[in-house]
Structure 1
Amino acid sequence: MNRNGIAIGGNIVFDYVKIIDSYPKQGNLSTILSIQRSVGGALPNTLIDLAKMDGDIPLEGIGVAGCDEPGDFVIDLLKKHGINTDMIIRQDKLGTSFTDVMTVQSTGDRTFFHFRGANSLLDISHFDFNRIKADILHVGYALLLDKLDAYDPEYGTVLAHTFFLAQCSGMKTSLDVVSENSDRFSKIVPPSLKYTDYCTINEVEASLITGIPARDKDEKLILDNMKPICTRLKQMGIGHWAVVHAPEGAFALDDSNDFYIQPSLELPAGYIKGTVGAGDAFCAGVLYCIYKGWDIKKALQIGTAAAASCLSEPGSTDGMRDIDSMEKLFMTMPRRKL
């Protein structure tokens, strides 16, 4: 098969983005200032970001949604952006996954209350590599996809098995995971890394996977640990790029194990309207560069610009612009000092 494009499998989420005046202590009250409906999850966020960056890329979604209004909303929006939704299964056993995203107006800090719903049904059987036309398969989020996170006696997890089959079919594989407070990282993520070509995750996730601290007791980023974290990720099996992003900057090892640092952009006061979707936007920027055959230095620049663009609006994909705008944003904004 002559493959071309990007396929994204994983979480399909309907977001209720609620802007609040403050995050209350347990038992206290906070005022909701506004409510916005939006798509969420790795599949809609990253695909729509990619479609906005470049409408000429063939894009496919692989997932499970409910037979309900939120499912209609997400799929209609994907179709509006020219994304192939033929491999998104609709079922009536569980409703479409949703998240209440509580965003503090003054800071953009967000807290998630999540219902797994139909995403828990996504399994290896939904990945038909005779139907998938793309040459890149990105899956997110590991640790939030019950069937794919399940144990596999030969490959470690069902997702690892899925990635093995994708590579056997001639596809490049890309992985993202979810941030959660648990000890599951060291058990569920490493098996998939053996069959992962590109891994793009945040510093919290990278630290939990590798066991190397990314922040000190004062929550300051430990810059000296970023290369060891990327190195350990590569040692765990990643074939090409290990990319770790944080609010302060992005860090990566390429195929030759050369280390790269890209500081984040220095954003003006009042620029950040919300942080939901910023990680997926960064992933979209990296995936775009992989698709175009650009190097890792360029990928970190575009990922950084895409994340910054996302921060300009409260919705997960509302702030995304085309690739020319991403490059212009990166060139015109000052860099943070690390």
Structure 2
Amino acid sequence: MTAAVGLLTLGESMVSLRCPGPLAAGGNLSMHVAGAESNVAVGVARLGHSVRWAGVVGADPHGQFILRQLRSEGIAVRHREDAERSTGVMFLEQRTADVTRAFYYRAGSAGSTLGIEDVDRAFCGGARALHLTGITAALSVESRRAVEYAAARATDEGMVVSLDVNYRSKLWSRGEACAALSQLVRYANVLIASDDELPLVAPGPWAGTREEDPDEAEVSMAEYLLDQGVEEVVVKRGAAGAGVHTASGRWEAPALPVTSIDTVGAGDAFTAGYLSVMLDGGDVPARLQRGAIAGAFAVSTAGDWEGLPRTGELGLLGISSGTTQR
């Protein structure tokens, strides 16, 4: 019988073809694996936990590349090959030192066909926690149902459910996201969102006060989500750090001062760090601190996940992120 893992996650992974300059100018492309859920899977696995990733790939070299890369990171893979559809592909160009642009070729991809039967296979053996994102829910009606089914099943089986909003305007409108994610929030123990994503899962009169008093609006939205049953509302603010709201208090941590090289995947790195300490049994301040450290590794190295730290490397930056309670 398959042993339970620390973290189970499911979603679409794609091949990312990266260009160091404008795509229109041509040049060499490097091949990588991209996907919010697989980014988190790599980060948590490197920090000492067993991880299982589930998804659908095409019966093509791109799919084989993704599976080989994930397995090389020690991740258990539960996948289905779709012979009729291709693995999704994205092109990423470094347009300027501060601007990165992505071009997706994922419509109708194999990954978008993730269904309830795939979820059932993924759950075989059990897990302590399930991590989901709004990206997978946005891919298709079928995958949306699969994500909600996974969240409901995980709750029934006593798993911790982590939900990262991860809104992508190229996949769905804010109205569509709000309607779908409001259903998923019911199952979330840990809700993760950037400060501008919070209104998608906490609609209410405070949305209009965000410009006047963003902190007051954030507190109101967090209280709304806590009232809905969420236990931890984690707010990512990029260079402004991150915060966590719980029923017992609020904690804040600044971003670490590092030289930013590539911000792609930074949010997923933060999430991986945060969840790894949760699986370790650490408290909220410790989770927040490691999230900030993992995020710093991500922005100061190139790639979605390639520079993420292993447990023994967490002190390499020589700095720590002090958390404060408010």
Q: Which TM-score bucket, shorter chain as reference?
A: 0.7 to 0.9
Contact 1:273 1:311 in 2 (8 A): yes
User: In the alignment, what sits opposite 1:253?
Assistant: 245
Q: Secondary structure at the match of 1:64?
A: strand
Aligned pairs for 1:49-88 (under 5 A) are 49-54=43-48, 57-85=49-77, 87-88=78-79
Aligned pairs for 1:104-253 (under 5 A) are 104-107=95-98, 109-116=99-106, 117-128=109-120, 131-140=124-133, 141-147=135-141, 150=144, 158-181=146-169, 182=173, 183-211=175-203, 212=207, 216=211, 222-238=214-230, 240-247=231-238, 248-253=240-245
So what's the TM-score if we normalise by structure 1? 0.82
Q: Aligned partners of 1:257, 1:148: CA distance in 2, in Å? A: 38
User: In the alignment, what sits opposite 2:253?
Assistant: 262
RMSD, matched Cα: 2.7
Contact 1:18 1:103 in 2 (8 A): yes
User: In the alignment, what sits opposite 1:10?
Assistant: 11
Q: For the structure 1 residues 34 and 331, does the alpha-carbon distance in structure 2 shift closer, same or farther, using more than 3 Å as the test?
A: same
So what's the TM-score if we normalise by structure 2? 0.85
CA-to-aligned-CA distance 1:262-305 (integer Å, 9 cap, x gap):
111122xxx22211111111111111011111111111111111
Contact 1:160 1:193 in 2 (8 A): no
Contact 1:16 1:101 in 2 (8 A): yes
Deviation at 1:137, TM superposition (A): 1.0
User: In the alignment, what sits opposite 1:316?
Assistant: 304
User: In the alignment, what sits opposite 2:82?
Assistant: 91
State, as a whole percentage, how many aligned pairs show the same letter. Answer: 23
Q: For the structure 1 residues 189 and 149, does the alpha-carbon distance in structure 2 shift closer, same or farther, using more than 3 Å as the test?
A: farther
Q: Aligned partners of 1:19, 1:246: CA distance in 2, in Å? A: 26
Contact 1:227 1:259 in 2 (8 A): no
Q: Aligned partners of 1:36, 1:130: CA distance in 2, in Å? A: 34
Q: Aligned partners of 1:214, 1:279: CA distance in 2, in Å? A: 25
Q: For the structure 1 residues 203 and 115, does the alpha-carbon distance in structure 2 shift closer, same or farther, using more than 3 Å as the test?
A: farther
Q: Aligned partners of 1:15, 1:327: CA distance in 2, in Å? A: 30
Work out whether 1:279 is the aligned partner of 2:267.
yes
Deviation at 1:69, TM superposition (A): 1.1
Which 4+ residue blocks in structure 1 deviate beyond 6 angstroms?
A: none
Q: Aligned partners of 2:279, 2:322: CA distance in 1, in Å? A: 27
Q: For the structure 1 residues 327 and 144, does the alpha-carbon distance in structure 2 shift closer, same or farther, using more than 3 Å as the test?
A: farther
Q: Aligned partners of 2:253, 2:209: CA distance in 1, in Å? A: 16
> 1:317 is aligned with what amino acid?
W
Q: Aligned partners of 2:208, 2:292: CA distance in 1, in Å? A: 22
Q: Secondary structure at the match of 1:144?
A: helix
Q: For the structure 1 residues 8 and 328, does the alpha-carbon distance in structure 2 shift closer, same or farther, using more than 3 Å as the test?
A: same
Q: Aligned partners of 1:94, 1:234: CA distance in 2, in Å? A: 41
CA-to-aligned-CA distance 1:135-164 (integer Å, 9 cap, x gap):
1111123443324564xxxxxx55333211
Deviation at 1:111, TM superposition (A): 2.3
Deviation at 1:226, TM superposition (A): 2.7
> 2:105 is aligned with what amino acid?
F
Q: For the structure 1 residues 215 and 104, does the alpha-carbon distance in structure 2 shift closer, same or farther, using more than 3 Å as the test?
A: farther
Q: Aligned partners of 2:226, 2:306: CA distance in 1, in Å? A: 33
Q: Aligned partners of 2:195, 2:321: CA distance in 1, in Å? A: 23
CA-to-aligned-CA distance 1:184-203 (integer Å, 9 cap, x gap):
22201011111111122222
Q: Secondary structure at the match of 1:189?
A: helix
Q: Aligned partners of 1:196, 1:79: CA distance in 2, in Å? A: 28
User: In the alignment, what sits opposite 1:26?
Assistant: none
Contact 1:42 1:139 in 2 (8 A): no
- Give unmatched runs, 5+ long, in structure 2: none
User: In the alignment, what sits opposite 2:36?
Assistant: 42
Contact 1:143 1:149 in 2 (8 A): yes
Q: Aligned partners of 1:284, 1:332: CA distance in 2, in Å? A: 17
